[in-house]
Structures are given as C-alpha cells and as structure tokens.
Structure 1
C-alpha cells in the first residue's frame, strides 16, 4: 500500500468509514435535525451546522492549496460562515451534501498525487499571514485530525439533545 493510499484510507475512515477514534463524521451527523444543527446549546460554542460549514471550508481550502501549490487561507467570513437565512431541513441536507461533495473532490485530488509529492512544501503568499508549516504530508494528516477534532465537538453538542 502506498502512502497516498494510506492517507485516502484515513480520510475515508474519518468521514464515513470505520474510524479508530470513534464514530465517523457522517455517523455522528446521522439523525441530527436542522433545528438541532442550528441550535447553540452551549453558550459561546459553535453550532453543529456552523461546524459543518467550517469543515467544508477547510476541505475546500486544502484542495485549493494542493491545486494551486500555494499556502492560501480562508477569510474570517469563510473560516466560520454564518448560517443561511433559511435553516430548514432542505438547507441542512444541502450543507451536509456540500461537505460530502467537497470531501469527494479532495479525495480525487489526493488520489492524483504520488508518494513523492508528499514531501513538497506549499509556496507561501505574502498577503496571507497564517501558515501551515510543513509538507503536503503534514497538511493532509492535519486535515484528517481537524475533521476528527470537530467530529468530537459535534458528538458532544449532540448530547444536549439526548
């Protein structure tokens, strides 16, 4: 098995597979209603829906970083987008579908890489102060860790509705 295949396996396990850390993101979101997703059961904490939008942003940013070979980042508004004006079940399902689509697009890009690419470093941009140091390898493993971290947050937020 190549390192790229291992990375793809980790992305799949964290998103909708058999994750070592616990339920996958998809399993953790299973059964969450739009009202629950939009709620803020913990003062000062993001809602489940906001976390899903944040995860989508970062999956898209990492794909864009790989596509452009540049260290780009989201704006503050992109990093933690607000909820849509309409927060009904259709909008909630669309938010989850957007995350799934972004995830599949990223996996397609990662699958096009070679193991040798994992040592490459992103080209920094002068106007983007925040950085993710290290090679593609660190970037991709970091995104798997990021996804699992927020999956844990969602799992805790769900407990407010149990």
Structure 2
C-alpha cells in the first residue's frame, strides 16, 4: 500500500468509515436534526452546523492549496461561516451534502498525487500570515486530525440533547 493510499484510507475512516478514534463524522451526525444542528447548547461553543460549515471550508482550502501549491487560507468569514437564513431540514441536508461533495472532490484530487509529492512544500503567501508552512504530508494528516477533533466536539454537543 502506498502512502497516498494510506492517507485516503485515513480520510475515509474519519469521514464515514471505521475510525480508530471513535465513530466517524457521518456516524456522529446521524439523527441530528436541523434544530439541533443550529442550536448552541453550550455557551460560547460553535453549533454543530457551524462546525460542518467550518469543516467544508477547510476541505476546500486544502484542495485549493494542493491545486495551486500555495499556502492559501480562508478569510475570517470563510473560516467560520454564518448559518444560512433558512435553517430548516432541507438546508441542513444541503449543508451535509456539500460537505460530502467537498470530501469526495478532495479524495479524487489526492488520488492523483504520488508519494513523492508528499514531501513537497507549499509556497508561502504574504497576505496570509496565519499559514503554517510544511509539506503536503503534514497538510493532509493535519486535515484528518482536524476532522477527528471536530467530530469529537460534535459528539459532546450531541450529549447536550440527551
């Protein structure tokens, strides 16, 4: 198995597979209603829906970084987007579908990389000082870790509904 294949496996496990850390993101979201997703059961914490939008932002950001080989970052507004005006079940399902589409697009992009690409460094971007330089290897493993971190947050938020 190549390192790219291992990374793809880790992304799949974190998103909708058999994750070592616990239930996958999609398993953790199962049964969450739009009202629950939009609520703030813990003071000062993001809602489940806000976390989903944030995860989509970072999947798309990593995709752009690979496409352009630059340490591009989201704006503050993109990093934690506001909820849509309509927070009904249809909008919640659309948010989850967009997340799934972004996930699949990123996996397709990663599948075209070679193991040798994992040591490639992203070019810094002067107007994005928050970017942490590093090779693709760190970028991609970091995104898997990001998925798992926020999946844990969602699991804790869900406990507030019990």
Per-residue deviation, 1:134: 1.3
Would the aligned equivalents of 1:132 and 1:139 in 2 still touch at CA under 8 Å?
Answer: no
Please name the residue that 2:78 is paired with: 78
- Kindly state the Cα deviation for residue 131 of structure 1 after the two structures are TM-superposed: 1.2
Residue-pair matches, total? 162
Aligned to 1:17: 17
Q: Cα deviation per residue 1:6-37 (whole Å; 9 max; x = unaligned)? A: 00000000000000000000000000000000
Task: Decide whether the 8 Å contact of 1:15 with 1:26 is kept in 2.
Answer: yes
Aligned to 2:130: 130
Corresponding residue of 1:63 = 63
TM-score between both structures, scaled by the size of structure 1: 0.99
The Cα RMSD (Å) is 0.4
Give 1:75 shift. Answer: 0.2
Q: TM-score, normalised by structure 2?
A: 0.99
Name 2:48's counterpart in structure 1: 48
Maintained 8 Å contact 1:57/1:74: yes
The superposition leaves residues 33-85 of structure 1 with CA deviations (integer Å, 9 ceiling, x where unpaired) of 00000000000000000000000000000000000100000000000001000
4+ residue runs of structure 1 moved beyond 2 angstroms? Answer: none
Structure 2: runs of 5+ lacking an equivalent: none
